[in-house]
Structure formats: structure tokens, C-alpha cells
Structure 1
Amino acid sequence: MKKQLFLIMAILISSLVHSQDSLSHKNEEAKIFGVSPSKKTKNVNGVLLKYYDEIDNEITPKKVNGLGLGFNGLGIFFPVLLLVNIGSINSWEISNADFEDLPKKMNTINGMQLSIINMEPTVTNGFELSLSSNINAPSVINGVSVSPLYNFHHTTNGVTVSTFANVSKKCRGLQVALINVCKDSKGLQIGFWNENEKRKLPIINWNFKTKKDKS
């Protein structure tokens, strides 16, 4: 009798643990449609709608295979503030110099990102179209980034095109804008004014040698 009771209890405990694991697994399953900010949204195979941006130390990293949409209203005001400093090259550099290293917690978008502004650390593998680009958050684009105003990235691998300025700490590929700034470049810059680690030139600038780290 005792053996039977022990066996029944063992089965019940095992079932309970399995149920909890199953529930946890379901919470981790990818959604077709997700919203952010939300702690329940982590993996999306479809569309992610982001109506506001989380602070870096509070961010819940999200992985999106599909389309990321960002509608943070703050992005409407930033272009005006940045336009005031368009004549100062040093100001563009400072905007990007705050981020020496990429954070461990970053969103990943495999596909397309369309946004007014992005203020969360994000890696985009594919295509990015943004009004005010990435402000106050280090970001990476592996592909093509287009903005009617500005492009700000920590790292760019591919092509960045904007009207006024492209600013990156590290770039591999092509920058096209009125002003292009990159301090660790390997590729071409085409615009009214171009800066890389080697020189400052109008119209076209280039560097095809990898920057050596100082020991």
C-alpha cells in the first residue's frame, strides 16, 4: 500500500513539473503578432508593434523574424533638435562617441524595421527605414539603412543613405549623405563633407585598410 501511495505521489509530482515546463515553453514560443513594451513579448515570427521604447537597463530583448514597426512619438521632435547642430561636425561625432562597446542585451530584427525613431539597442539584419534613426541607443545594421533625415549607428555593414547625415563609430561599406562621419571605416563615403579616421574630404572619401587596435 505504501509503495502504491509513493508511486502515485511520484507520478503527480512528475506531472506537475512537466506541466510547468510546458507552460514555460509556451510563453517562449514565437508569436505571429506582438506588442512592445511587454515582458510577454520575446519572440515574434511576423509583426512587432512598438509604441514606446524601453530604457536600456529595463529592456526585454526581443527577436523578430519579419517586420518591426516603431511608433514612438518622440521621434517627431528629435529632427528639429538635430537640425540646429547640422553645421557643427564635432557635434555629430559626440553624438556617437558615448558608446564604445555594444551592450549584451539587444533586440534582433531579421527582416525589416520601419520606425519614427528607435531608442532601444537593436541589431537589424535586412532593411531599415527610419525618420530619426537610432537615438541614445547603440545599434547595428547589416544590410541597408535609409532615412529622409539622419542615420545614427554604432556599426554599419552595408549601405546607409540619408539626406543630412550618416554617423557611425564603425562602418564597412557605403555612406551617402550631405555629411558622413565614421572613425573606423572600410569603404566609401559620398557627400558634401566626409570624415573618416584618415582624412576629411568633400564629395568622396575612402579607406580600404582595417584600423589597427592600439596596444
Structure 2
Amino acid sequence: MKTRILLIAGLLFNSLVYASDSLKVDSLKPRLIAASPSKNVRNVNGILFKYYDEEDHFKPKKVNGLGLGFNIIGVFLPPLILFTFQSPGSWSLDDDYVIVPREKMNKINGLQLSLINMEPTVTNGLEINVSSNINTYAVTNGMSVSPFFNLHHEMKGISVAPLANVGQKCRGIQIGLYNKCSDFRGIQIGGWNENGRRKLPLINWNFKKQKTNKML
């Protein structure tokens, strides 16, 4: 009797281990179409539909293709910001500047197209956001375009927005009415431009390494 009980217990344990391993393997298997938030999806070769994954339970995903964000907040944010528009000096990422490890961020290789991005994301390619990246760590390697403003903690490439481009570490070109980046190397073109070395209207530049208070 004891032998049977031990045998049954052993079979149940093996079944649980197999199920756990199968779930893990299944989560790593690339999906053609997936959604975020999701506990069982890690890789997407196609389209990722994302809403907003809570930070405490965030599961980063790798997307080779298209990331689509449909958080409706992105529709209302630009008019609200324009209605309560503050002076250019108040546009800053310094207060919430906390570096997020790459392994804890979404990675999109291709196109990110969103009303608003609220998930920590590395975009390698083209990023188009109506309300840019709000309350999240954002890295873009390529080109970022917005009809209102762009917010990036790290940017390598070209950032274009009619209202403002604000970054913490930028390498490339910023084009907009107001451009600001603390650790900047490249060219800024706009009504008013600020970087770690100088503030100038119309065009500003810097191609030398800057000393910053934060480790990047």
C-alpha cells in the first residue's frame, strides 16, 4: 500500500514538473499575435497589442514586428497638457530618472505605434506615439515622431515633435519648438534649445563628452 502511495505521489510530482516546464517552453515560443498584459507570452514575431501592464507584475516581451498601444489616456493627455501648459523650464525628466535594466523592459525591433506608451520599452526602429512615453523609462534607437511631444530617457537617432523633445541622454538630432536634453551630443533645431553646455534659439549643438550628475 505504501509503495502504491509513493508511486502515485511520484507520478503526480513528475506531472507537475512536466506541466511547469511545458508552460515555460510555451511562453518562450514566438507568437504571431499576442497581447500585453500577459503572463504566458515572452516573444512575438508579428503584432503585440498592448494596453498597460502594471509595474509590479510587468512581464517584458521581445517583439520583432509591430507594437500597438491602445491606452485611451493617450487621446486626452495632449489637450490637457496644452490647457495647463507650463513654462519650458519645467519640462524635465530629472525628478523620476531611475535607470531600468534592459532585461526588465519590452524590446521592440521594428515599429512602435501607440496612443501612449506606459510600459518600459526599448524601441529599435521607428516610434510613433500620440502622447509619447509617460511615467515609464523609454529608450529609442532610430527615429521617434509625435504630433505633440517626445519624452525619452535615452535617445539615439532623430526625435521630431512640433511642441517639444525632452530627453536625459541623447545622441543625434532633436527637431521641435522646444528641445531639451541634459546629456546631449548632436544638433538641436527649434525655437529654443537647451543642452548641458548652452542654451540657444534656432540651433544648438554639442559634440563633446559632458559631465553629468547621474551615472548613465
What TM-score results when the alignment is normalised by the length of structure 1?
0.87
Structure 2: which amino acid aligns with 1:29?
K
Higher mean alpha-carbon deviation, 34-43 vs 69-78, is at 34-43
Go from structure 1 to structure 2 and tell me whether the alpha carbon gap of 1:12 and 1:59 turns closer, same or farther (over 3 Å shift): closer
Q: Give the drift of 1:181.
A: 0.5
* Partner of residue 24, structure 1: 24
* Partner of residue 58, structure 1: 57
Q: Give the drift of 1:206.
A: 0.4
| Contact 2:183–2:212 (8 Å) recurs in 1 | no
Instruction: Report the Cα distance in structure 2 between the residues aligned to 1:145 and 1:69, rounded to whole angstroms.
Output: 15
* Partner of residue 179, structure 1: 178
Output the aligned Cα RMSD.
2.3
Q: Give the drift of 1:204.
A: 0.1
* Partner of residue 89, structure 2: 90
User: Identity percentage over the alignment?
Assistant: 51
| Contact 1:99–1:154 (8 Å) recurs in 2 | no
Q: Give the drift of 1:97.
A: 1.4
Q: Give the drift of 1:209.
A: 0.6
* Matching of residue 67 in structure 1 with residue 66 in structure 2: yes
Structure 2: which 5+ runs fail to align?
Answer: none
Instruction: Report the Cα distance in structure 2 between the residues aligned to 1:55 and 1:19, rounded to whole angstroms.
Output: 27
Instruction: Report the Cα distance in structure 1 between the residues aligned to 2:114 and 2:213, rounded to whole angstroms.
Output: 37
* Partner of residue 140, structure 1: 139
Structure 1: which 5+ runs fail to align?
Answer: none
Q: Give the drift of 1:12.
A: 6.4
Structure 1: which amino acid aligns with 2:97?
E
Instruction: Report the Cα distance in structure 2 between the residues aligned to 1:100 and 1:182, rounded to whole angstroms.
Output: 13
Higher mean alpha-carbon deviation, 31-40 vs 180-189, is at 31-40
| Contact 1:85–1:91 (8 Å) recurs in 2 | no
1:59-107 deviations in Å (ceiling 9; x for gaps): 11111111000010000111022224545012212xx113333223211
What's the secondary structure of 1:75's corresponding residue? helix
* Matching of residue 103 in structure 1 with residue 106 in structure 2: no
What's the secondary structure of 1:166's corresponding residue? strand
Instruction: Report the Cα distance in structure 1 between the residues aligned to 2:90 and 2:121, rounded to whole angstroms.
Output: 23
Aligned pairs for 1:120-131 (under 5 A) are 120-131=119-130
Instruction: Report the Cα distance in structure 2 between the residues aligned to 1:23 and 1:191, rounded to whole angstroms.
Output: 51
* Matching of residue 165 in structure 1 with residue 164 in structure 2: yes
* Partner of residue 47, structure 1: 47
